[in-house]
């Protein structure tokens, strides 16, 4: 008895050849993203910044200046001890201690990107796990975790950061931990909300009726359905984290001197901005361009995951 | 009080054990009340004491209005819900109190097809991995063997096996239900619980899927519990039909017997809503229009659940819970009715007068504790 013949629609589509592959939602989003010019330009800028950060020793080699070396020559500082503007030797000028602003800005990109990526990864990892557990398991787990989220969101972040750093001392890892610890709550909230609606869908019941365990349902059935939101949020979180890191450095809570980082450089430059505008302009511009590029790229990613974008573009 | 002893006269008739045996099955859901001060927890009596047998290889149709508890009963049978009370025996083994871990090997025996062809398939997974999921969960076969089995299943349900790598969004509603059926059949179950599998589909597609399910039953020797509110569908596919009202079974009978000599006034009213193609016959036929809505399952009526809307309710209908038993002598042994005043085939329900007191008509809160 051939059951297959009763279905007229399925059988006659073999013209396309043996391999019939549905395009995954990811592939569709990626193809939309590739058509978004602003996002692609932002991505190009981000790639340039990443390459520059990776190759920062090369800048040091070309100019012959180390990032923390102080030059007391006539080219570096005026006789009065003030920074000198851009010149053949110091392309972006010098700072108040006679250091090369270009080399320091380039090295600063490493810190910003490193903290941006690490702290965001930590934030998202905690947020996703807490959100999944809280939304899917419900009950007492959910009550405890949501109250904890409320507490985290109501703690004044800068005050805690200031006191914490003054106790344990500034370092890269404490910066990452502090940012991660205070940012996951909003990710967890987004994920939890999504999971709450997803777990009522019939495919979760179907998985259960097949004998799936809770953790399998959480990570194999539900997680892929929240991933697009998480990715959008992640790309928009990186610039926020970079700015927060710069803010902490500006307040003297970043990395211990003489390490070059953008927030710290802006802090050092603020008393010289009338006599040495380049000193504040270059790290400032680097910070603005980086965060802008990440933000625009994040917007592009958000649009790419929104199925309505196709229609908007074609109009 | 639940009628466990009286209910199943068919037990002693045949030598074959029923595949599935439900006894006094109850599922109550706590009502989320916003008032914190309110001391007493209230419950929705979704399924409230169901006794049913499902025999090997048969199709038991489960019909009833929206909200009568038939989907809840399906989920209790598939053990997606824990029972509040009662027992479910599969193949003579009590599965009603098994934990999820203990239940896992038994999942191979009893599977479910869901109502919503859009909600029941994970939109982020490829069809091959959806149908192969049971193999992954139960750790059966290597990757290559699984793929082969999945493609055989796709062929079995009338899908092109080459569409293995597509996503659910690439398929129509009817094709998605076929995917759901393939997934349910992957573990070669003995029993399929179909929760309104065709009600979300176009009528032309409904027929295709019902024929597919019937063919699969012949080929694989499956037993179905087929839930629907569509009487013509259930008449076509079922061997026996159980009529549910407010969490209880009102009448069970072989299909033709139910359609010809239904005993319960509710069944009669339900059947009178079935369209008749012959206009002359339709004119002569009795149309029974029930008054009022179904009472809330939070405070179900006392006695017979149906007495508040029954055209021939008597005072004792509000007090005595009628057992599910053989109603008249000329009924077959399979025909059970839960009614104190079962109807004769030529009795006209529209001429009946209810003599139940008006105060009884309104669901009585105080009766809540006494009903079981």
Q: Tell me whether A88 touches chain B (CB under 8 Å).
A: no
Range A134-142, long-range pairs (CB < 8 A, 24+ positions): A134/A188, A134/A192, A134/A195, A135/A191, A135/A192, A135/A193, A135/A194, A135/A195, A135/A196, A135/A198, A135/A199, A136/A195, A136/A199, A136/A214, A136/A217, A136/A218, A136/A222, A137/A214, A142/A192
H-helix segments, B274-343? 279-284
Relative to beta strand B191-195, strand B20-30 is unpaired
Q: Collapsing DSSP states into helix, strand and coil, what is residue B54?
A: strand
pLDDT of residue B61: 92
Is-contact B238 B60, C-beta < 8 A?
yes
To 5 degrees, how large is the angle CA B112–CA B118–CA B120? 30
pLDDT of residue A50: 92
Please report which helix (H) or strand (E) contains residue B265, including its range: helix B265-272
Q: Tell me whether A15 touches chain B (CB under 8 Å).
A: no
Comparing C-alpha atoms, which of B194, B332, B150 is closest to residue B258?
A: B332
CB contacts of A210 in chain B (<8 Å) are 107, 111, 133-134, 137, 183, 187
To 5 degrees, how large is the angle CA B21–CA B23–CA B28? 120
Q: Tell me whether B82 touches chain A (CB under 8 Å).
A: no
Whether residue A20 and residue B111 make contact (CB cut-off 8 A), yes or no, is no
Q: Tell me whether B188 touches chain A (CB under 8 Å).
A: no
CB contacts of A211 in chain B (<8 Å) are 103-104, 107, 134, 137-138
- pLDDT (tens, 9 = 90+) of chain A, 315 residues, equals 444 444 444 444 444 445 566 677 778 888 888 888 888 999 999 999 999 988 888 887 887 777 777 777 767 777 777 777 777 777 787 777 778 888 888 888 888 888 889 999 999 999 999 999 999 998 899 999 999 999 998 988 888 888 888 888 888 888 888 888 888 998 999 999 999 999 888 899 899 888 888 889 999 899 988 888 888 888 889 888 888 888 888 887 777 777 888 888 888 888 887 888 888 888 889 989 999 999 999 888 888 887 665 555 554
> Per the structure block, which two tokens stand in for A155?
């703690």
Provide the angle, in degrees to the nearest 10, between the axes of the packed helices A56-63 and A101-137.
Answer: 170
Neighbouring C-beta atoms of residue A48, cutoff 10 Å: 12
Is-contact A188 A130, C-beta < 8 A?
yes
Comparing C-alpha atoms, which of B251, B336, B333, B337 is closest to residue B14?
A: B333
Neighbouring C-beta atoms of residue A64, cutoff 10 Å: 10
Provide the angle, in degrees to the nearest 10, between the axes of the packed helices A37-54 and A101-137.
Answer: 120
The label of the residue with tokens 């399979």 reads: B334
Whether residue A207 and residue B133 make contact (CB cut-off 8 A), yes or no, is yes
Q: A179 CA to chain B: closest CA distance, Å?
A: 32
Cα Rg, chain A, nearest whole Å: 25
d(CA A69, CA A90): 13
Q: Is the peptide bond before A258 cis (omega within 30 degrees of 0)?
A: yes
Report DSSP letters for B187-200, one per residue.
T--SEEEEESTTTT
Bridge partners of B165, per DSSP, are A21
Residue A141 burial (C-beta neighbours within 10 Å; 0-12, 13-18, 19+): middle
Whether residue B123 and residue A21 make contact (CB cut-off 8 A), yes or no, is no
Q: How many CB pairs (< 8 A) connect A and B?
A: 120
Is-contact A123 A184, C-beta < 8 A?
yes
Whether residue A3 and residue B187 make contact (CB cut-off 8 A), yes or no, is no
Which of B107, B174, B219 has its CB closest to that of A211? Answer: B107
- pLDDT (tens, 9 = 90+) of chain B, 372 residues, equals 333 443 443 443 344 688 999 998 999 988 876 656 556 778 888 888 889 999 998 999 999 888 888 889 999 998 888 888 889 998 888 888 888 888 888 888 899 999 888 889 988 888 989 999 999 988 888 888 888 999 999 988 889 888 888 888 888 888 999 999 999 988 889 999 999 888 888 888 888 889 999 999 998 889 999 998 888 888 888 999 999 999 899 999 999 888 888 889 888 888 887 777 777 777 777 777 777 778 888 888 888 888 888 888 888 888 888 888 888 888 888 899 998 888 887 777 777 776 665 444 444 444 443 333
The Cα-based distances of A59 to A51, A101, A284, B194 in angstroms read 12, 11, 19, 69
Q: Collapsing DSSP states into helix, strand and coil, what is residue B60?
A: strand
pLDDT of residue B33: 64
d(CA B275, CA B286): 12
Query: What secondary structure letter does DSSP report for A87?
Result: -
d(CA A249, CA A110): 14
Is-contact A128 A242, C-beta < 8 A?
no
Whether residue B114 and residue A206 make contact (CB cut-off 8 A), yes or no, is yes
Q: Tell me whether B236 touches chain A (CB under 8 Å).
A: no
Q: B185 CA to chain A: closest CA distance, Å?
A: 11
Q: How many residues does chain A have?
A: 315
The label of the residue with tokens 């997680």 reads: A223
d(CA B117, CA B109): 22
Q: B34 CA to chain A: closest CA distance, Å?
A: 16
To 5 degrees, how large is the angle CA A232–CA A233–CA A239? 105
Whether residue B160 and residue A19 make contact (CB cut-off 8 A), yes or no, is no
Burial string for A221-251 (b: 16+ CB within 10 Å, else e) reads: bbbbbbbbbbbbbbbbbbbbbbbbbbbbbbe
Is-contact B241 B64, C-beta < 8 A?
no
Cα Rg, chain B, nearest whole Å: 22
Q: Tell me whether B152 touches chain A (CB under 8 Å).
A: no
Nearest residue of B to residue A13 by CA position? B160
Is-contact B23 B87, C-beta < 8 A?
yes
> Per the structure block, which two tokens stand in for A251?
């307040």
pLDDT of residue B240: 93
Residue A256 burial (C-beta neighbours within 10 Å; 0-12, 13-18, 19+): exposed
Query: What secondary structure letter does DSSP report for B300?
Result: P
Going along chain B, which residue ranges are E strands? 20-30, 43-54, 59-63, 85-90, 93-94, 110-113, 191-195, 223-228, 240-245, 248-254, 336-337
pLDDT of residue A65: 78
Is-contact B270 B257, C-beta < 8 A?
no
Is-contact A82 A259, C-beta < 8 A?
no
Name residues whose C-beta falls within 8 Å of residue A115's C-beta, 6 or more positions apart in sequence.
Answer: A172, A175, A176, A179, A241, A242, A245
Q: What is the ipTM of this complex?
A: 0.78
Q: Tell me whether A166 touches chain B (CB under 8 Å).
A: no
Domain parsing of chain A, residue ranges: 35-67+88-314
Q: B238 CA to chain A: closest CA distance, Å?
A: 20
Whether residue B134 and residue A211 make contact (CB cut-off 8 A), yes or no, is yes
Is-contact A292 A310, C-beta < 8 A?
no
Is-contact A261 A254, C-beta < 8 A?
yes
Q: Tell me whether B157 touches chain A (CB under 8 Å).
A: yes
Nearest residue of B to residue A201 by CA position? B119
Which of B115, B119, B159 has its CB closest to that of A203? Answer: B119
Q: How many residues does chain B have?
A: 372
Nearest residue of B to residue A222 by CA position? B122
CB contacts of A4 in chain B (<8 Å) are 155-156, 158
CB contacts of B162 in chain A (<8 Å) are 14, 18-20
pLDDT of residue A122: 94
The label of the residue with tokens 């790598």 reads: B165
As its CATH architecture, domain A35-67+88-314 has Orthogonal Bundle (1.10)
Whether residue A14 and residue B162 make contact (CB cut-off 8 A), yes or no, is yes
Relative to beta strand B240-245, strand B248-254 is antiparallel
């Amino acid at each position: 008895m051939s059951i297959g013949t009763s279905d007229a629609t399925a059988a006659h589509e073999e013209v396309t050849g043996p391999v019939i592959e549905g395009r995954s939602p990811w592939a569709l989003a990626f193809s939309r993203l590739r058509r978004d010019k602003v996002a692609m330009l932002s991505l190009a800028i981000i790639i340039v910044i990443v390459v520059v950060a990776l190759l920062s020793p090369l800048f040091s080699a070309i100019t012959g200046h180390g990032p923390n070396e102080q030059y007391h020559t006539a080219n570096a500082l005026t006789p009065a001890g003030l920074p000198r503007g851009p010149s053949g030797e110091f392309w972006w000028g010098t700072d108040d201690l006679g250091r090369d602003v270009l080399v320091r800005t380039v090295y600063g990109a490493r810190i910003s990107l490193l903290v941006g990526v690490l702290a965001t990864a930590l934030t998202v990892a905690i947020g996703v796990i807490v959100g999944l557990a809280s939304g899917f398991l419900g009950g007492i787990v959910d009550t405890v975790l949501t109250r904890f989220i409320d507490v985290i969101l109501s703690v004044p972040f800068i005050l805690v950061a200031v006191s914490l750093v003054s106790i344990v001392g500034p370092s890269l890892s404490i910066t990452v931990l502090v940012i991660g610890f205070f940012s996951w709550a909003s990710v967890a909230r987004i994920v939890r909300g999504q999971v709450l609606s997803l777990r009522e869908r019939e495919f979760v019941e179907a998985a259960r009726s097949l004998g799936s365990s809770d953790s399998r349902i959480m990570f194999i059935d539900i997680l892929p359905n929240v991933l697009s939101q998480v990715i959008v949020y992640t790309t928009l979180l990186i610039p926020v984290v970079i700015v927060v890191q710069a803010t902490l450095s500006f307040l003297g809570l970043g990395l211990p001197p003489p390490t070059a980082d953008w927030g710290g450089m802006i802090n050092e430059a603020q008393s010289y901005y009338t006599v040495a505008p380049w000193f504040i302009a270059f790290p400032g511009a680097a910070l603005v361009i980086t965060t802008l590029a990440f933000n625009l790229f994040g917007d592009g990613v958000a649009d790419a995951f929104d199925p309505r974008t196709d229609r908007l573009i074609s109009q | 009080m639940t009628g466990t002893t009286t209910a199943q006269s068919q037990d002693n008739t045949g030598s074959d054990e029923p595949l599935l045996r439900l006894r006094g099955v109850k599922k109550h859901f706590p009502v989320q009340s916003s008032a914190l001060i309110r001391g007493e927890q209230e419950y929705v009596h979704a399924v409230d004491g169901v006794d049913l047998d499902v025999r090997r290889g048969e199709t038991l149709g489960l019909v009833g209005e929206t909200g009568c508890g038939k989907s809840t009963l399906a989920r209790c049978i598939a053990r997606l819900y824990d029972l509040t009370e009662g027992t479910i025996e599969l193949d003579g083994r009590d599965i009603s109190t098994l934990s999820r871990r203990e239940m896992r090997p038994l999942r191979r025996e009893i599977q479910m097809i869901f109502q919503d062809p859009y909600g029941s398939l994970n939109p982020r997974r490829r069809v091959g991995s959806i149908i192969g999921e049971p193999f992954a969960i139960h750790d059966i076969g290597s990757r290559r063997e699984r793929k082969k089995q999945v493609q055989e299943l796709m062929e079995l349900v009338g899908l092109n096996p080459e569409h293995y790598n597509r996503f659910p969004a690439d398929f129509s509603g009817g094709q998605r239900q076929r995917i759901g059926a393939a997934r349910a059949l992957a573990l070669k179950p003995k029993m399929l619980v179909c929760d309104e599998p065709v009600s979300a589909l176009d009528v032309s597609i409904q027929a295709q899927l019902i024929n597919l399910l019937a063919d699969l039953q012949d080929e694989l020797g499956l037993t179905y519990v087929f839930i629907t509110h569509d009487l013509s569908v259930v008449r076509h596919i079922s061997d026996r039909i159980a009529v549910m009202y407010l969490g209880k079974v009102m009448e069970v009978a072989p299909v033709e017997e139910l359609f010809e000599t239904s005993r319960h006034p509710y069944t009669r009213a339900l059947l009178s809503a079935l369209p008749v193609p012959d206009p002359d016959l339709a004119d002569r036929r009795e149309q029974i229009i029930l008054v009022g809505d179904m009472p809330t399952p939070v405070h179900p009526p006392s006695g017979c659940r149906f007495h508040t809307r029954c055209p021939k309710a008597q005072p004792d209908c509000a007090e005595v819970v009628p057992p599910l038993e053989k109603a008249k002598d000329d009924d077959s042994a399979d025909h059970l009715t839960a009614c104190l005043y079962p109807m004769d085939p030529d009795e006209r329900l529209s001429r009946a007068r209810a003599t139940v007191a008006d105060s009884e008509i309104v669901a009585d809160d105080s009766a809540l504790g006494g009903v079981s």
